RNA sequence: GGAGGGGUGGCUGAGUGGUCUAAAGCGCUGGUCUUGAAAACCAGAGGGGUUUACCGCCCCCCAGGGUUCGAAUCCCUGCCCCUCCGCCA
């Protein structure tokens, strides 16, 4: 949610800023709603003040033993008028809230212009892409029987997978490795969180109300949603809280499955496990003071990059252009890992600064030492990393041409010291 | 699933229709005193909205409805917590 004061002060600037992400901000509609809101609010509060004063007077008269019938008669239809005013106010307020909840965050000035991912800007790259003297296979061919899509289709449907044996273990090893590095070396606190959340939580991080059709909802007495990312439950830890400044920054890391409908991606990335309805992710979340968030974004991105470097996987960092930017983000840096099987860099992490956009929706605040007053925090998150995609990257970058895959040095302690994956030949 | 008891400020906790403008205690902040601290005494302190700002006004006693001139208090619904029983990874 954007700052209402900023919107009232300079709506045209907001409209112009949102053009960078190709969002049309309806200035006239906002002005009309805002004017109506103001009128109805003033009227409602004036009537409330009158009611309070009269009721109090009746109370005092009664206490002194006077006859209160004439006073009650004087109140007349005040109650009905107040009820009408209140209903109008509530209605216009709800409409204004609905309008504002659908407005995305303002992109930072450093966000490059552009329509889609082709306009993203490479910031840096790291590592040597492996030079194979053979035609590299993709992860599906490499994993063979250890990656069973047919079984998954039988059990669930498309965009699910069953992993087995050494590949399943590698998947777990990657998860443990990432958690250990982030907790032991990067100063994050590990948290275990619900995988089903309520609508309020999704609203807080910005997935609702606009992206209802991208979520899996669970039917039952309570309306629950499967989390699309750990960002949702973890960031909502601070929803409605007023934190001590001394408690900031908060750095959380969580490993969770993520569930996505992938409604807009029919026919896209259908081979293998690159794009699934269910996948695992190790997520980094930071809650920081407003002055610290840009620095925190660099640090957080660096923490995700550290995993790629230790796994010795070639990658590049790109700044998302305005058109590719997510709804809540002011700025996003994607990390893209080199996948020999696809011959291209693909997203494996997305690191974003949301400034106070999520915090305002969540009313997540901290008490400023100097003023003693609550202020909105800034929130950030990033994948550190997507586990399934890291699995793809390891398989494809560490293949040796003979249906063998070496295990990255950093992962060997998590694989019982093994040097290579035990993969069924020709599987 | 069954039976019962509860949700009031940072915490404990009073309040069962009208100066509630929410008691009191603890804790907190500032001051007096003191070399400093403690004690004592004095004072102060919640959140949100509206407003350029101030003053003011409005809202907030779990949440949403209702009754009433007036609701922390009465009624309905929901959520959450606690105790006991049952079931359960």
CATH number, domain with residue A276: 3.30.930.10
CA pair distance A329, A353, nearest whole angstrom: 6
Shared-domain flag, residues A137 and A194: yes
Shared-domain flag, residues A138 and A94: no
Q: Nearest nt (C1') to A9 (CA)?
A: B52
Maximum Cα–Cα distance for chain A, whole Å?
103
Mind spelling out the 3-state secondary structure of A273-284?
CCCCCEEEEEEE
With respect to residue A403, please indicate whether it lies within any of the assigned structural domains: yes
Shared-domain flag, residues A83 and A141: no
- Give the Å distances, CA to CA, from A357 to A248, A307, A354, A415: 18, 28, 6, 41
With respect to residue A7, please indicate whether it lies within any of the assigned structural domains: no
Give the pLDDT confidence score for residue A359 in this predicted structure. Answer: 94
Shared-domain flag, residues A128 and A73: no
Mind spelling out the 3-state secondary structure of A354-423?
CCCHHHHHHCCEEECCCCCCEEECEEEEEEEEEHHHHHHHHHHHCECCCCCEECCHHHHHHHCCCCECCC
Q: Nearest nt (C1') to A79 (CA)?
A: B69
A350 is catalytic: yes
Query: What burial letters (b/e) apply to A303-315, b meaning 16+ CB within 10 Å?
Result: bbbbbbebbbbbb
CA-nearest of A394, A392, A389 to A349 is: A389
Q: What is the ipTM of this complex?
A: 0.86
Is any atom of strand B within 7 angstroms of residue A156's beta carbon? no
With respect to residue A347, please indicate whether it lies within any of the assigned structural domains: yes
Is any atom of strand B within 7 angstroms of residue A72's beta carbon? yes
Q: Nearest nt (C1') to A83 (CA)?
A: B66
Is any atom of strand B within 7 angstroms of residue A45's beta carbon? yes
In chain A, the N- to C-terminal Cα span, in Å, equals 51
With respect to residue A9, please indicate whether it lies within any of the assigned structural domains: no
> Domain boundary at A101, A125, A144, which?
A101
Under 8 Å between Cβ of A249 and A287: yes
Q: What is the pLDDT of residues A52-85, one digit of tens each?
A: 889 888 888 888 877 888 888 888 788 888 988 9
Under 8 Å between Cβ of A47 and A78: yes
Residues of chain A with pLDDT under 50: 426-427
> Domain boundary at A101, A125, A160, which?
A101
Shared-domain flag, residues A291 and A366: yes
Q: Exactly one of A289, A347, A367, A412 is catalytic; which is it?
A: A347
A260 is catalytic: yes
Domain extent for A179: 117-422
Give the pLDDT confidence score for residue A425 in this predicted structure. Answer: 58
CA pair distance A254, A276, nearest whole angstrom: 19
With respect to residue A345, please indicate whether it lies within any of the assigned structural domains: yes
**Chain B bases having any atom below 7 Å from a protein CB:** 18-19, 21, 47-51, 57-59, 65, 69-70, 79
Domain count of the fold of chain A? 2
Shared-domain flag, residues A165 and A301: yes
Any idea what the CATH number is for the domain that residue A93 is in? 1.10.287.40
Q: Nearest nt (C1') to A48 (CA)?
A: B58
Q: Which of residues 219-248 of A touch strand B (CB under 7 A)?
A: 221-222, 242
- Give the Å distances, CA to CA, from A292 to A98, A99, A248, A366: 30, 30, 10, 13
With respect to residue A334, please indicate whether it lies within any of the assigned structural domains: yes
Report the DSSP pairing between strands A242-244 and A365-367: parallel
Residue with tokens 């809101």: A37
Cα A87 to chain center, whole Å?
34
Is any atom of strand B within 7 angstroms of residue A52's beta carbon? yes
Cα torsion angle, A86, A89, A95, A96, sign: negative
Under 8 Å between Cβ of A365 and A240: no
> Domain boundary at A101, A127, A155, which?
A101
pTM, whole model, 2 decimals?
0.94
Cα A17 to chain center, whole Å?
21
């Amino acid at each position: 949610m954007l700052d209402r004061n900023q919107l009232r002060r300079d709506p045209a600037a907001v409209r112009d800023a949102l053009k960078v992400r190709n969002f049309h901000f309806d200035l006239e509609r906002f002005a009309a709603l805002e004017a109506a809101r103001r009128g109805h609010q003033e009227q409602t509060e004036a009537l409330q003040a009158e009611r309070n004063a009269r009721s109090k007077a009746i109370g005092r008269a009664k206490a002194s033993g006077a006859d209160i019938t004439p006073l009650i008669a004087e109140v007349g239809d005040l109650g009905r008028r107040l009820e009408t005013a209140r209903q109008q106010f509530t209605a216009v307020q709800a409409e204004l809230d609905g309008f504002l909840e659908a407005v995305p965050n303002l992109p930072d000035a450093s966000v490059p212009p552009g329509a889609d991912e082709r306009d993203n800007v490479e910031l840096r790259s790291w590592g040597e892409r492996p030079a194979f003297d053979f035609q590299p296979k993709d992860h599906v061919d490499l994993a063979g029987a250890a990656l069973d899509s047919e079984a998954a289709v039988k059990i669930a449907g498309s965009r699910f997978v069953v992993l087995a044996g050494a590949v399943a273990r590698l998947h777990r090893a990657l998860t443990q490795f990432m958690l250990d590095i982030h907790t032991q070396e990067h100063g994050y606190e590990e948290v275990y969180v619900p995988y089903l959340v309520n609508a309020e939580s999704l609203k807080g991080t910005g997935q609702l109300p606009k992206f209802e059709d991208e979520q899996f909802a669970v039917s039952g007495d309570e309306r629950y949603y499967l989390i699309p990312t750990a960002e949702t439950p973890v960031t909502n830890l601070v929803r409605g809280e007023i934190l001590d400044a001394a408690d900031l920054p908060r750095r959380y890391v969580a490993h969770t499955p993520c569930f996505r409908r992938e409604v807009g991606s029919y026919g896209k990335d259908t081979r293998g496990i690159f794009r699934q309805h269910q996948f695992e992710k190790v997520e980094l979340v930071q809650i920081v003071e407003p002055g610290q968030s840009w620095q925190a974004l660099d640090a957080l991105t660096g923490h995700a990059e550290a995993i790629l470097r230790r796994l010795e996987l070639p990658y590049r960092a790109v700044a998302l252009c305005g058109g590719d930017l997510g709804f809540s983000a002011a700025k996003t840096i994607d990390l893209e890992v080199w996948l020999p099987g696809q011959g291209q860099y693909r997203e494996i992490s997305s690191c974003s600064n949301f400034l106070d956009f999520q915090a305002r929706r969540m009313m997540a605040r901290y008490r400023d030492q100097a003023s003693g007053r609550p202020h909105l925090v800034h929130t950030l998150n990033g994948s550190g990393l997507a586990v399934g995609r890291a699995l793809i990257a390891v398989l494809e970058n560490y293949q040796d041409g003979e249906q063998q895959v070496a295990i990255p040095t950093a992962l060997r302690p998590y694989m019982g010291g093994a040097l290579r994956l035990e993969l069924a030949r020709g599987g």
